[in-house]
Amino acid sequence: MTTNGGGRDDEGGGKTGASEPPPRSGKAPKGSAPEDGLPKEGHPSGLYTLFGAEAWERFSYYGMRALLVLYLVKKIGLSKENALEIYGIYTGLVYLTPLLGGYLADKFLGRRKAVLIGGIVMALGQLALTSPTLLYTGLGLLIAGNGFFKPNISTMVGGLYREGDLRRDGAFTIFYMGINLGALYSPIVCGFLGEQVSWAVGFGAAAVGMVAGLLQFVLGQKRLGATGLPPGRAAEKERAQAGAYRSSDLPGGPATSLVSRDYVDVAIWTGGTVALVWGLLLASKSLAPMWAGMPGAVKGLLVVAILGVAFFQLFRGSNKVEAQQIAVIIVLCAFNIFFWMGFEQAGGTMTLFADSQTDRNLGGLGLFVIAGVIAACAYNFWRSTKDEVSGRLLWTALTGMFGLMAGAAVALGIYNLATGKATNIPASQFQAINPLLIVALAPTFSNLWEKLDQGRFRTSTPTKMAVGMVILGLGFGVLFLGQKVAIATGSASAGWLGAVYGIHTIGELCLSPIGLSMVTKLAPPRVSSLAMGLWLGSSAVANYLAGTLESMLSTVQVPIYLFLVASSVGPALLLLALTPILKKWMHGKA
């Protein structure tokens, strides 16, 4: 896999130690020796430690997400509107807490300890969800834990590369593919167990995934060099000045691993976080009515105050160039809201559409179509990764995984044709379509950005985001028509949802991995985790709107999917108009 542009050394303060920038290919010139004695092919093995840890964590998160709305409606007995509101509040807060988690990691904990604290708290939250009486405790622990985990593991990816290393965007694409590898299996495994066996078993499987991610991270931390060690650690400063490593491990040992006092800190912070969640849940019994009765203007002022504190921390100590680059991050965060407000319908209204308005019984022909798509994914994945130097075993295993899935679909299709039976697909498993396509198509998009950036059609980050938003709007146009069919006939073919997920996947690949890389390139090192938290925080607003949008629009009788066409395409056109000035403010890092 290849990349699509330069990057900023997240750990090393922007010093590479090289006298001139590397060639566009990311390789040393033919016949020359690497200036640091390390091979220039492939990615550092630490990337695959982070890849695996994130894949398991996302298995945990998306397994729970696939079940949540259905669980609230079918098991708890809530109305559709109330279930979607809880979904929106939960997913919104999951993305809001990284603002605090990123700040604590930057100033006190370091990213590795923050990741461990977050993972342990989330595992406890998944276990709590196995009991309906601990529903809000489980959700609270997941919200708090994600705040520690999410921004810091993402930022650590950028710390593995020197400034100007052209593989950084490609590294984030690989990392993003790990996210979706976990998201692929979770609806299949947790969705099946939750809907067909019991809800407790489904949530329990998600807890097992989180524990596996923690083990992957702890056992593989020696491959991370000094990336993510606590602030002020001498070994981190020494290695950061030399520049982040590229393709092989730095020497292991105590200098690149957490020590016993770090694990004591992890235990203390974990216990304190659990106690804080319980305390807030108790306090919410009296605070919730006060919040509900608070005037909207006061709520707005509180939001402005929180953003003001975050912006002050971001801009404090910045020169003109850094201030403009931070301003670009803030502007793109605003447009990020419009994309994810639509995209996150997948876990809410689109899952309910799959449950109540979709014909989910697939005969032999339907399964053959699925097998064909998976087989095409297997071929495309093999073709896109066959020249990748590092992670060869991983890419081969993933290609084989697609082949086995395609074979299983063919076998089930033959059985259905022979017996005249149909296979009922659980509604939660439709959420596996998006990550399946992302795992297969991410290498192609990584190569696409590389080719575009090396030619005269170099595409800036704002332009890529705008294209993704337009594609998202096209997908909702298809879903609007599919809903019309369901209303007229009683149910719509599963092909409608399949097409929408496919279109949205292409739009997501234009925006999300590029956005993660943009933050690490533009944010000053001293506030990199806070900036990543702000980017994820913009998704908090989007997720809350995703959960409450349908009930708000119903009061004015506006169809939700038609509205989402306009809210995706309209802001995209505005972003394209702003692109020239945003590119100028990015100072060569567009």
| Domain match, 447 and 578 both | yes
Span 110-136, average pLDDT: 93
Query: What pLDDT does 123 receive?
Result: 94
Q: Is the pLDDT of residue 110 over 80?
A: yes
pTM: 0.78
User: Quick check: 203 and 219 in contact, CB under 8 A?
Assistant: no
Q: What confidence category does residue 175 fall into, taking pLDDT thresholds of 50, 70 and 90?
A: confident
> Residues 84-106: pLDDT tens digits?
989 999 988 887 788 788 889 88
Which of 424, 456, 475 is the last residue in one of the domains?
424
| Domain match, 241 and 368 both | no
Structure-token pair, residue 335: 């447009």
Structure-token pair, residue 395: 């890419």
Which of 371, 391, 424 is the last residue in one of the domains?
424
Which of 424, 449, 471 is the last residue in one of the domains?
424
Specify the range with the lowest mean pLDDT, choosing from 3-12, 28-37, 325-334: 3-12
Question: What CATH code is carried by the domain that includes residue 61?
Answer: 1.20.1250.20
| Domain match, 88 and 163 both | yes
The number of distinct structural domains making up the chain is: 2
| Domain match, 542 and 398 both | no
Q: Is the pLDDT of residue 33 over 70?
A: no
The Cα-based distances of 318 to 11, 52, 108, 322, 337 in angstroms read 18, 35, 21, 5, 26
| Domain match, 441 and 534 both | yes
Give the Cα-Cα-Cα angle 208, 211, 214 (nearest 5 degrees): 155
Does residue 33 lie in a domain region? no
Supply the DSSP string of 177-213, one letter for each residue.
Answer: HHHHHHHHHHHHHHHHIIIII-HHHHHHHHHHHHHHH
Q: Is the pLDDT of residue 545 over 70?
A: yes
Q: Is the pLDDT of residue 383 over 80?
A: no
Does residue 24 lie in a domain region? no
Containing structural domain, residue 407: 361-424
Span 59-63, average pLDDT: 92
| Domain match, 327 and 188 both | yes
Does residue 25 lie in a domain region? no
Q: What is the distance, to the nearest Å, from the Cα of residue 581 to the centroid of all Cα atoms in its chain?
A: 28
> Quick one: what percent of the chain has pLDDT higher than 90?
35
| Domain match, 463 and 352 both | yes
DSSP lists the bridge partners of residue 424 as 361
| Domain match, 249 and 286 both | yes
Span 1-14, average pLDDT: 32
End-to-end CA distance of the chain: 20
Sign of the alpha-carbon torsion through 167, 110, 589, 577: positive
Query: What pLDDT does 234 receive?
Result: 38
Q: What CA–CA distance (Å, rounded) separates 412 from 237?
A: 57
Does residue 295 lie in a domain region? yes
| Domain match, 484 and 337 both | yes
Does residue 538 lie in a domain region? yes
Does residue 429 lie in a domain region? yes
| Domain match, 377 and 498 both | no
| Domain match, 159 and 246 both | yes
| Domain match, 70 and 140 both | yes
The Cα-based distances of 578 to 200, 328, 470, 584 in angstroms read 49, 11, 16, 10
Does residue 13 lie in a domain region? no
Does residue 23 lie in a domain region? no
